[in-house]
Structure 1
Amino acid sequence: MNTLPPPPDPLLLPVRDPRARDLVLDYADMHALVADLVLPGDASMYAMSAMETSRELIRHSFYRYEFATVAVTHSLFALEHVLAERLATDEPLHVLIQRAADAGLITAGLAADLDKIVPLINEEYCASYFTKLRTMAQAAAAPHLPAAT
């Protein structure tokens, strides 16, 4: 059985990512950055879970700045879900954003900002990435790998 090595003694605290220096003074201040990121109580569990995950990723980006990028991606999943529910349709996110702006659910300015982000996170890229992850996980889970010939 493969196990992780024991943690070093004493367990060290994570080190602040220097790229977070312009955001806050210390980790406790990260709470203020995410305090207003809340959904109404009647939001779906999916949206609430995705937003909570995004909040925590933003908070922990104090230690690993790349978590902020993952947080944005995760919050877009929540946005897509909420807009699909509110507009009663199942269309791609860029279409939902335009329809939400037309319906007055979001401002035109927000729609324009989102239109800049959404093309960076497209379905083909995500599918390709997850295919690679799945292949790596299957290889790691295999009881043995055949010898290369």
Structure 2
Amino acid sequence: MSDTPELPWPVPDERFRHWAGQFADMHHLVRDLVIPLGLPQAAESVLTTARELIRMSYFRYEFMMIGAGTSIIAIEAALADRYGKGNLAGYLKKAHADGHLTKEQYDLLDSFGRPIRNKYAHGDLTHVALTPPLAIGMLRTAITLLAELHATPSPGPSAGGN
């Protein structure tokens, strides 16, 4: 026998009762969040992790916020790669102006995504109120944006090189 206490098996988070009656319902919520083939391995890994965190939020509601925050960080990294040094607010404006984000996607990421990313980065994520549709919308936007950015060549800082 071990002197180490065993961790309890996960139980459903009561806060999720309005969105999913059983864990199998979580598969339905995230089933259309398909990670496109051909993304760089790092992007694929981050997006898959974000999706699975949202699925596992059935057991711990905060996983949903962490999943959404993770998808925003993936967006920020991809836009930094495209636009160079800057910040998330500026990247989102540029991506919207360049046609990579629709008005709705921009509003979702700017109004909800940026604050979540900031709270996530500063360790204050548990105070964020987020619903599954918002989290899923952020991840869907991240998947769409990263697939588009990967499919279109980056203009680069200069056309002629050095």
How much has 1:19 moved relative to structure 2?
0.8
User: What is the count of residue pairs matched by the alignment?
Assistant: 121
Deviates more, 1:91-100 or 1:59-68: 91-100
1:55-70 pair list within 5 angstroms: 55-70=51-66
How much has 1:53 moved relative to structure 2?
0.9
Unaligned runs of 5+ in 1: 130-149
1:48 aligns with 2:47: no
Q: Which has the higher contact order (CA 8 A, sep 6+)?
A: 2
Amino acid at match of 1:7: E
Aligned match of 1:89: 84
CA root-mean-square deviation = 2.4
> Quick one: percent identity of the two aligned structures?
36
How much has 1:119 moved relative to structure 2?
3.5
Among candidates 87, 93, 110, match of residue 115 of structure 1: 110
Point out the structure with max Rg over C-alpha: 1
CA contact (8 A) 1:47 1:81 kept: no
How much has 1:4 moved relative to structure 2?
7.7
1:23 aligns with 2:19: yes
Tell me: CA distance 1:84–1:6, structure 2 relative to 1, closer, same or farther (3 Å): same
CA contact (8 A) 1:47 1:78 kept: yes
Unaligned runs of 5+ in 2: 124-162
| Large movers: runs of 4+ above 3 Å | none
Tell me: CA distance 1:5–1:104, structure 2 relative to 1, closer, same or farther (3 Å): same
Query: Counterparts of 1:17 and 1:6 in 2: how far apart (Å)?
Result: 22
Normalising by structure 1, report the TM-score: 0.69
Tell me: CA distance 1:88–1:121, structure 2 relative to 1, closer, same or farther (3 Å): closer
2:78 aligned counterpart, secondary structure: helix
Query: Counterparts of 2:86 and 2:111 in 1: how far apart (Å)?
Result: 18
